[in-house]
Each structure stands twice: as C-alpha cells, then as structure tokens.
Chains A and B, each alone.
Chain A
C-alpha cells in the first residue's frame, strides 16, 4: 500500500527509485578498471611501435575483448565522474543541462568509435 497521496503521485514527488545506483556503478567500474587499466598501460608502454606490431597486438587472442572492455568501462566511469563534477561546479539551468548533454554526447561518440575501431582491427587481423 502506498502512503503517498494521489496528487503527490501524479506530480512525481518522492523517491526516484534510483537511490545509490550512480554511486555504486562508479565503484563497480572503478574496481573492474583497476586490473584492466594496469594491464592496458603496461601493454601499451612495452608495445613496439609500428602499424604491423600494434594492429597484430590489438587483434591477438583475447586482446580485442579485454581492450573493448577496458575502454568502454573507462568511458562509462568518466561519464559518471564528469556528470558529478558538472553538477557540482556548473550553475544555471541552461549551462548545466547543456554541459551534461554535451558530456553524454562526447562519451557516447567515444564509446561507439572505440568499439568500432577495436572490432575493425580485430576482424582485419582474423581475416
């Protein structure tokens, strides 16, 4: 049984049923990124330069899966983090909403581009 009045219900007053979702996903992506970011950084630092070596490494074995996962999780983590930063420091409805939308667009574009790039290299290596 709901204790909320019908008026409160139609006005959407009350909890958004989201709770700690944002906070929790930020932590889950952080924990997942700890080993993955370490792996990617060390791999990129020791990777020999040159197109052949780089594309072979990206397409080899489980690398495309781990690489997509790392980049997508990093973009997700960055999206959530930047949202909090904008909400804390950018004031004024229009500028704040505009910044949040811009951040969402850029992060979405990055996720699609990175995934496309990794898949394209991996499928070329497999062909």
Chain B
C-alpha cells in the first residue's frame, strides 16, 4: 500500500498555546501511569511489613524520589483540572475559541494553585518524606 499522509498534520496549523496544553494532557497522563507503578510499589512495601516499609521510606526520603513525588503531584493537578475541561467539552460545551481560551486560563490558574498547595503539603505536611 502507498505511504499515505497520516493525521494529525501538525505542520499545517499555526501554533497556538492551547495546542501545547492539549499535548501536555497526554504527557501528564503517561507520567501519572508511571506514578501508579510507584504507588503500587509503596502499597506492596506496606503490605510486606515494618521492615520493607522502612526500606521504602528510606528510598522515598532520597532527593530524586522527593522530586519525582513533587512532579507526580504537579502532573496530577494538571491532568485533573484539564480532565474536567475535557469532560465539559464531551458534554458539548465550550468549543468556541474565546470560551476555550478562557477555560484554558481558568484551568491553568486552578492547576497551579492546586499544585502549589500539594507541593507545600508534601514539603511541610505531616507526611514529610
């Protein structure tokens, strides 16, 4: 079969920042899939008993793990807020360019505020890793 062009033809569109928000939804989704491996590992460690949990805590206290936890929380806040935006679209609302841009701004503000709250809670909260 001949090589036919595949959609999406990204090169034919003028770049708009809503495009990067859209691809960021997929990137954060894949990142959260990886975070589920970490969450399951943590649950398995807790199921293993005090010694395996203590080992998991040691791993979680290392700086790379802290950074990964913070990144996972930020990804979660973004994917959550933008996901609500997608659900509104799925119900048939908010497709006009002006509406889509306004919901993008609203979503970014909400996601940033939530991410900030999560990271502060992670650093200073009861569960300090």
Is B29 on the interface with A (CB-CB < 8 A)? yes
- Evaluate whether A120 and B47 lie within 8 angstroms (CB atoms) in the complex, with A37-B76, A78-B36, A110-B36 already known: yes
Within 8 A of B (CB), among A33-61: 34, 37-38, 41, 44-49, 51, 54-55, 58
Majority secondary structure, B binding face:
helix
User: Whose C-beta in chain B lies nearest to the C-beta of A84?
Assistant: B26
Could you tell me if A30 and B36 are in contact, using CB atoms closer than 8 angstroms? no
Instruction: Give the docked Cα–Cα distance between A54 and B37 (Å).
Output: 18
Is B90 on the interface with A (CB-CB < 8 A)? yes
User: Whose C-beta in chain B lies nearest to the C-beta of A121?
Assistant: B47
Majority secondary structure, A binding face:
helix
Instruction: Give the docked Cα–Cα distance between A65 and B47 (Å).
Output: 16
Could you tell me if B43 and A117 are in contact, using CB atoms closer than 8 angstroms? yes
User: Number of residues in A with C-beta < 8 Å to the partner?
Assistant: 33
Could you tell me if A113 and B36 are in contact, using CB atoms closer than 8 angstroms? no
Is A69 on the interface with B (CB-CB < 8 A)? no
Could you tell me if B127 and A71 are in contact, using CB atoms closer than 8 angstroms? no
Could you tell me if A41 and B73 are in contact, using CB atoms closer than 8 angstroms? yes
Within 8 A of A (CB), among B115-129: 118, 121-122, 125-129
Contact partner of B40 (CB less than 8 A), chosen from A51, A81, A117, is: A117
Could you tell me if B33 and A82 are in contact, using CB atoms closer than 8 angstroms? yes
Could you tell me if B53 and A45 are in contact, using CB atoms closer than 8 angstroms? no
Chain B 87-129 near chain A by CB (<8 Å), digits 1 or 0: 1001000000000000000000000000000100110011111
Instruction: Give the docked Cα–Cα distance between A45 and B114 (Å).
Output: 13
Could you tell me if B121 and A54 are in contact, using CB atoms closer than 8 angstroms? no
Chain B residues with CB under 8 Å of chain A are 26, 29-30, 32-33, 36-37, 39-40, 43-44, 46-47, 49-50, 53-54, 57, 73, 76, 80, 83-84, 86-87, 90, 118, 121-122, 125-129
24 A-B contacts (beta carbon < 8 Å): A27-B87, A34-B80, A41-B118, A46-B121, A46-B127, A48-B126, A49-B128, A54-B46, A54-B53, A55-B46, A71-B39, A71-B40, A71-B43, A82-B30, A82-B33, A85-B26, A85-B29, A85-B30, A106-B37, A116-B47, A117-B43, A117-B44, A118-B43, A118-B47
